[in-house]
Amino acid sequence: MNAKLSRQMTLLGLGVLAFYAGALGTGQASLEILPQFAISALIFLSSGKIMRQMAEKLPAREQKEHEEVEEPNWELRNLVLNWVAAATVVGVVALFLVKPASMTFNEFGRFLLKMDVIITDYNMPIAP
C-alpha cells in the first residue's frame, strides 16, 4: 500500500509540474509565483520517494499485518448508493418541474446564471 501511495504522490508531483508549466506557458501565471510553485512540486515529488524509503524500512511482519483487508460493509454502501440514487432522481424530476416548457435546458441555465436578485416583496391582495 505504501508503494502505491508513493507512486501516486510522485504522479501527483509530475501532474503539478505539468500544470504549472502549462499555466506559465499560456501566460495565466507570472514568474513572480514560480518559487512557490517549484517548492510545492518539489514537496510532492520528494514525498513519494520518502514514503517509498519508509516502506522499505518496515519489518516484514508489520507489512503483513497492514496488508490484511477488512471486508467492506456492504449494507452501508448499499444504503449510501440508494440515497444518492434517490437524491439524483428527485433532483432531475425537480429540474423538469421547475424549468418552463418553452425553454431549453441551455436557456434555463443561462437564465439562472443571469438572475442576480430575487424579488420577494410582491404586493399581495388582502383577503376580505
Question: Which range marks the domain in which residue 93 is found?
Answer: 74-114
Residue-averaged pLDDT of the chain: 78
The answer to whether residue 121 sits within a structural domain is no
Phi then psi for residue 119, to 5 deg, are: -85, 125
Torsion of CA 56, 58, 62, 65, to 10 degrees: -30
Task: Give yes or no: residues 19 and 62 share one domain.
Answer: yes
pTM (two decimals): 0.39
Task: Give yes or no: residues 6 and 61 share one domain.
Answer: yes
Task: Give yes or no: residues 92 and 109 share one domain.
Answer: yes
Q: For 103-127, what is each residue's pLDDT tens digit?
A: 888 888 888 787 766 666 666 667 6
Task: Give yes or no: residues 60 and 15 share one domain.
Answer: yes
Torsion of CA 118, 120, 125, 128, to 10 degrees: 140
Task: Give yes or no: residues 60 and 79 share one domain.
Answer: no
Task: Give yes or no: residues 82 and 61 share one domain.
Answer: no
How is residue 29 written as a grid cell? 501565471
Q: CA-CA distance, 31 to 16, in Å (whole number)?
A: 16
